[in-house]
Structure 1
């Protein structure tokens, strides 16, 4: 861990990252890509020391909207348990009348259920949870340092009971690893049982760029001997790595989500995520 001072904390579309880097260890993580110009070891978390002061100033200047986090770094990394930057950011989001959405794989988010419920009563909260495999043993290989899928499903159900909407990211789906009908149907079962509002699925596959490709291939050698060569022969250095089962799996995905009234196109899900409600009892404290 190391600290820096940042010049800003909110993007033009109200996205924020309080941390940079991650210790979840997911073997496919795109945030490792050289494209993002991270000048420190990925597991050496960069903490934006002045982020909460910046957030307060920027929230005061902006029209209330949905504040999002988790696109680059899971906000609920283990370090958050001690530093509580996300929890303190939620207090500011609540105080200034904004909404909140985040992408995570961690059950640590339940620590902040009190604040999430409070914000959701005034404006809107949507928790986005990534599910890639229904098999907890496989989950421990491809996402080794975060709670397994079964626990994430428990989190989704707890949030549903608290009347907090949820969205699932069904990605990435790794060719020859988790791209089979049993896995996709099992994840969809979890989503239906948890009453999720939408599922983000761009198609069945993953993306690889310089930086994350090398790490991913190293992990394939470690856990799936011989599979790296199959990827290289089939995909070369392509950015998009589609599953050979993409068409059949997408048919299952569309059919089951349509039948259960689950939003199933990225456009529809993103429109829902960032739609900010104008509630009559909304208050804005200064």
Structure 2
């Protein structure tokens, strides 16, 4: 496959409060899932031809050097900009090799993905979980197969993602759902949210972390509106009336949704706040007391 140059791979996390991670890692550039709402299309990220996946050049040798040079281990976030389990990963195995390096050097992993390809590495993730914090976040915005096919046209179906969640949970991996975005006027009926909570719980999810709305900026907004006009005629105009040029576009019923969502999570014993989730998968390190 095509590659792009890379001088550095492992970057210090700008927002460590986001699932308690210390480092970010993107082994690929671009994504081929085709999600119409993807924030990574935004101009600020400078990813040309976003739908084409390219690997970072010499990724594994470079990562090996950077991990060995770190004086402090930590949890590495994967999948923030492009899915680490895109279809090319099946042959390239960059993510699998990275997890093996984490195991060797004592680093944990926080993986966000829409792909059931991750089940290939469930034994490796379980082994890594025994020595370092590991969390897998399956990105889902709806459990409706037909709707998902229109808003995430080339991603594995929600049913496939939920089966993958079930397999990872059975293997002992701390896994759950990243319920975002919840697209206003498309995915924000209370029944839709409660159904996704039910199916995630049935699949063995430990948590669901939500955002009842969508972010829109720069060329991402233009792309999203074009897709809305194509698949949901008239909806883009309603967005323009509701949100103008706003970055954060909350569902008009976000307060109601959070109420039914949190109640459903409590009934099924699911964690749903960031603090609870981080405490559960990443217990505080015990500090050695000084003799003096």
Q: Does structure 1 conserve the Cα–Cα contact (< 8 Å) formed by 2:11 and 2:24?
A: yes
Output the CA distance in 1 between the equivalents of 2:32 and 2:130: 32
Q: For this pair of structures, how many residues does the alignment match?
A: 276
User: In the alignment, what sits opposite 2:8?
Assistant: 8
- Pairwise mapping of residues 18-33 of structure 1 onto structure 2 (< 5 A)? 18-33=27-42
1:230 paired with 2:230, answer no
CA offset digits 1:10-68 (Å, max 9, x no partner): 11131100011100000100000001122x21122232112211211121122232222
Output the CA distance in 2 between the equivalents of 1:73 and 1:134: 22
TM-score by length of 2: 0.89
Which of 61, 65, 73 matches 1:64? 73
Which of 170, 174, 177 matches 2:179? 170
1:99 paired with 2:117, answer no
Deviation of 1:122 (Å):
2.6
User: In the alignment, what sits opposite 2:147?
Assistant: 138
Output the CA distance in 2 between the equivalents of 1:191 and 1:262: 9
User: In the alignment, what sits opposite 2:129?
Assistant: 120
* Partner-residue secondary structure (3-state), 1:167: strand
Aligned CA distance change for structure 1 residues 198 and 79 (closer, same or farther; 3 Å): same
Aligned CA distance change for structure 1 residues 276 and 67 (closer, same or farther; 3 Å): farther
1:215 paired with 2:227, answer no
Deviation of 1:96 (Å):
1.7
1:148 paired with 2:157, answer yes
Structure 1: runs of 5 or more not aligned: 279-286
Structure 2: runs of 5 or more not aligned: 13-21, 287-292
1:256 paired with 2:264, answer yes
Aligned CA distance change for structure 1 residues 271 and 61 (closer, same or farther; 3 Å): farther
* Partner-residue secondary structure (3-state), 1:187: helix
TM-score by length of 1: 0.91
Output the CA distance in 2 between the equivalents of 1:50 and 1:89: 12
User: In the alignment, what sits opposite 2:55?
Assistant: 47
Output the CA distance in 1 between the equivalents of 2:107 and 2:150: 37
Output the CA distance in 2 between the equivalents of 1:277 and 1:90: 21
Output the CA distance in 2 between the equivalents of 1:56 and 1:228: 46
Q: Does structure 1 conserve the Cα–Cα contact (< 8 Å) formed by 2:28 and 2:84?
A: yes
Output the CA distance in 1 between the equivalents of 2:280 and 2:78: 16
Deviation of 1:255 (Å):
1.5
Could you list the runs of 4 or more consecutive aligned residues of structure 1 that deviate by over 4 angstroms after TM superposition? Answer: 270-278
Output the CA distance in 1 between the equivalents of 2:170 and 2:131: 18
Aligned CA distance change for structure 1 residues 275 and 25 (closer, same or farther; 3 Å): farther
Output the CA distance in 1 between the equivalents of 2:280 and 2:109: 12
Compare relative contact order (CA 8 Å, sep 6+) and give the higher one, 1 or 2. Answer: 1
Query: Comparing 40-49 with 20-29, which one deviates more in the overlay?
Result: 40-49
